[in-house]
Structure 1
Amino acid sequence: MTDQLLDALTRGVTTYDLARQFRVGMPQSPNHPQFWHVLPRRHGDMVRSDGGSAANDMITTGTHVGTHIDALAHVSQDGKLYGGSDAGDACLGGKYVEHGVHTIEPMIRRGVLVDVAAHRGVTTLDGGYEITLEDFRATLEAQGTEIRRGDVVLIRSGWGARFEEGQAFVGGATGVPGIGEEVGEWLAAQGIHAAGADSIAFECLRPGAGHGLLPVHRIFLVEHGIYIIEAMNLEEISAARVHEFTLVLVPLNIFGATGSPVRPLAVVSGE
């Protein structure tokens, strides 16, 4: 019996890398430990008798820096996690046994890009701009795409174009564009599996407010069990005007962690 997936690969596919490259000093939320990379051994530090040499690395990082996914254990509300689990009881021996990132199954799902910035004809939405449900639906209609149950929905505000600007991407003073409760509730009602964005905290951050209030995190992670992917690179896929694709995403299998770095890929047929 012929495997249709292998047939598609044989005919050729195009892959878009939706992740940011991990580098020391990259912009991140001030709430999380930074990424750090060093070389304890460099070529020449130890040379074998035959002249060969090897180098190696060590990294330390928070699990919520760079392009990453939030596990359901990341956020609680009034002491409860998704499904009503007690947030304190869920942490055993310093690990979130229940709803930790190790419970996220690999994702091979239909992905949808909702390119709000492109629809509005701007490079990036203004800092602090809340994407309305009218914006969202108008973008979907213009693209000719729809949201289906089980989808992974990626929202482009254009803010990712500022990633290389460092602190400007964090947007402390300016705020950061993104969806608010209105679109969050609507997406949850559609039964999506996960959602991602090209900004630092996925949702709208008001100027000067920082990460003090994150209502969409509550709606998705606590109330509906929807995973959140942050700091995505959506520029290339936007330029290619690819709005529907196969999304491939696998978190690191870290037992009890509240999140994980990821390298999501958008795959479409054709070369």
Structure 2
Amino acid sequence: MTNPLLEAVAGGLHTVDLGRQLRVGMPQSPNHPQFWHTLPRRHGDMERADGGSAANDMITTGTHVGTHIDALAHVSQDGKLYGGADAGASCLGGKYVEHGVHTIEPMLRRGLLLDIPSYKGLPDLEGGYEITIEDLKGCIEAQSVEVRPGDVVLIRSGWGKKFDEGAAYVGGPTGVPGISEAGAQYLASLDVHALGADTIAFEMLPAGGGHAQLPAHRVLLVESGIYIIEALDLEGLAEQAIHEFFFVLVPLNIFGATGSPVRPLAVVPA
């Protein structure tokens, strides 16, 4: 009996890495602890009798730093999490038992890239630009794709090109492009499983507004139970015009955490 999945692997696969490399000093939201990496032991600090030596590492990091996924426990509204769970009572012993990142099953799903700048004939979107429902519908039609229930939809704004610039990527004075409440409601109505973007907070941030209000997070995480993936690298997909793919994402299995660093992959036949 043949296995179609193994046959596809044997036929050759092309993989596009959608995750950012974790580096000390990379841009991040000021609301979260930074990533730090150090070597407690370097080669030569201790040598075995045969001359061998081993080095080891230690990292500390917030769970919402670099490319990461938001668990449903990440955001509450009026004291409630998704499904009406009590945000206070759900945090038992300092862990979010009910909606922590450990409850996110590995994602092996159909993925779609909505390349908004390409659809609009622009290299990138400007800071503070709201990606409207009309933009989303127009891009879906132009790319000849269909959003199906259970899909993972990734939205490219082009803002990801600024990641290596640091503060410019955070976009405090300029704002950051993305969907807002209306776009989130529209995509939620399509019954997607997760949404992602190449920006620091997924949704549109107005110039000078920072993270003061995040209505799309409320719509998706609290009201709809849809996961959010942030700080994706979508330039490779855009350059290769890959709009439909097999999406792979596995969060770290951290009990009760509100999020996790991830290294998502887009996979297509070679």
Structure 1: which 4+ aligned runs deviate by more than 6 Å? none
**Structure 2: gaps spanning 5 or more residues:** none
Q: Distance in 1 between matches of 2:58 and 2:180?
A: 38
Correspondence list, 1:104-119, <5 A: 104-119=104-119
Correspondence list, 1:41-120, <5 A: 41-120=41-120
Q: Distance in 2 between matches of 1:120 and 1:33?
A: 36
Q: How many residues are treated as equivalent by the alignment?
A: 270
Deviation at 1:123, TM superposition (A): 2.2
Q: Is residue 2:166 matched to residue 1:183?
A: no
Deviation at 1:118, TM superposition (A): 1.3
Match in the other structure for 1:262: 262
Deviation at 1:142, TM superposition (A): 1.0
Deviation at 1:121, TM superposition (A): 2.1
**Partner AA of 2:167 in structure 1:** Q
Task: Please list the CA deviations of residues 101-131 of structure 1 after superposition, one character each: whole Å capped at 9, or x if unmatched.
Answer: 0000000000000000111222210000000
Superposition TM-score, scaled by structure 2 size: 0.99
**Partner AA of 1:239 in structure 2:** E
Q: Distance in 2 between matches of 1:28 and 1:153?
A: 22
Match in the other structure for 2:149: 149
Q: Distance in 2 between matches of 1:179 and 1:83?
A: 23
Task: Please list the CA deviations of residues 185-207 of structure 1 after superposition, one character each: whole Å capped at 9, or x if unmatched.
Answer: 01111000000000000000000
Q: Distance in 2 between matches of 1:116 and 1:226?
A: 21
Identity %: 70
**Structure 1: gaps spanning 5 or more residues:** none
| Helix, strand or coil at the partner of 1:57 | strand
**Partner AA of 2:266 in structure 1:** A
Q: Distance in 1 between matches of 2:124 and 2:80?
A: 36
**Partner AA of 1:75 in structure 2:** V
Q: Is residue 2:238 matched to residue 1:242?
A: no
Correspondence list, 1:209-228, <5 A: 209-228=209-228
| Helix, strand or coil at the partner of 1:237 | helix
**Which is worse superposed, 133-142 or 163-172?**
133-142
Match in the other structure for 2:40: 40
Q: Distance in 1 between matches of 2:225 and 2:133?
A: 21
Deviation at 1:14, TM superposition (A): 0.3
Task: Please list the CA deviations of residues 53-83 of structure 1 after superposition, one character each: whole Å capped at 9, or x if unmatched.
Answer: 0000000000000000000000000000000
Deviation at 1:98, TM superposition (A): 0.7
| Helix, strand or coil at the partner of 2:110 | strand
Match in the other structure for 2:165: 165
